[in-house]
Amino acid sequence: QVNVQELLAGELLLPFNNHFINLTLVAADFLQLNDVVDAASMYLCRELHPSNALGIFRFAEAHNCKQLAESASAFINSHFPDIIENDEILEISSQMFSRLISSEMIRIESEYQVFQACMRWVKHEISNRKRFVFDILANVRLSLVPLRLIETEIAQCRDMSLKIALRSILKDLTSRRGQ
């Protein structure tokens, strides 16, 4: 049983986990308990990890928690190679994926990491996502990706329509490099 006076005074000790904090943040936002919203947001900021950063970012955007969204976005950008290795990235929409990879703030060692993330995202639900390949790859600086790595991706691709799309992209790249 929760004592409302203790809750409002900030004296209530409750067990913390991300699900509880999410529910608390939503309820506190609805009730305009700004101190509780701030405390819950700070807790989630401390809990940011490559395995949950995208989920926290999406949650923050959905509930208009600007500071939490900014913190999660900064975390995602600075931990991009780790973020793309986690399965959470496979669950985001094409729009969010495009926003993520088109950011000038992501820290990567090479543009090939972005290309690999795109291929992983598309191949996760290939029948639904192959139609996005041109839009997604438009956000990648493909001229910085060695052609042999794109050729390897094409050789390993099992989906014929995706293979054709990648060949088309490769053809465009090689014709531009030859000019």
Give residue 23's pLDDT. Answer: 66
| CA pair distance 17, 119, nearest whole angstrom | 33
The 10s digit of each residue's pLDDT in 52-64 is 999 999 988 988 8
Quick: pLDDT tens for 87-138.
Answer: 999 999 999 999 999 999 999 999 999 999 999 999 999 999 999 999 999 9
Average pLDDT over residues 44-57: 91
* Phi, psi dihedral angles at 72 (to 5 degrees): -65, -40
Give 13's contacts (C-beta < 8 A, 6+ positions apart). none
pLDDT band at residue 45 under the 50/70/90 scheme: confident
What does the pLDDT look like over 86-96, one tens digit per residue? 999 999 999 99
Question: Does the pLDDT value for residue 24 go beyond 70?
Answer: no
Give the rounded distance of the alpha carbon of 106 from its chain centre. 11
Percentage of the chain beyond pLDDT 90 is: 65
Say what the pLDDT of residue 1 is.
46
pLDDT at residue 31 greater than cutoff 70: no
Q: What is the pTM of this model?
A: 0.80
Distance CA 87, CA 124 (A): 10
For residue 26, pLDDT beyond 90? no
User: What per-residue confidence (pLDDT) applies to 44?
Assistant: 83
pLDDT at 179: 46
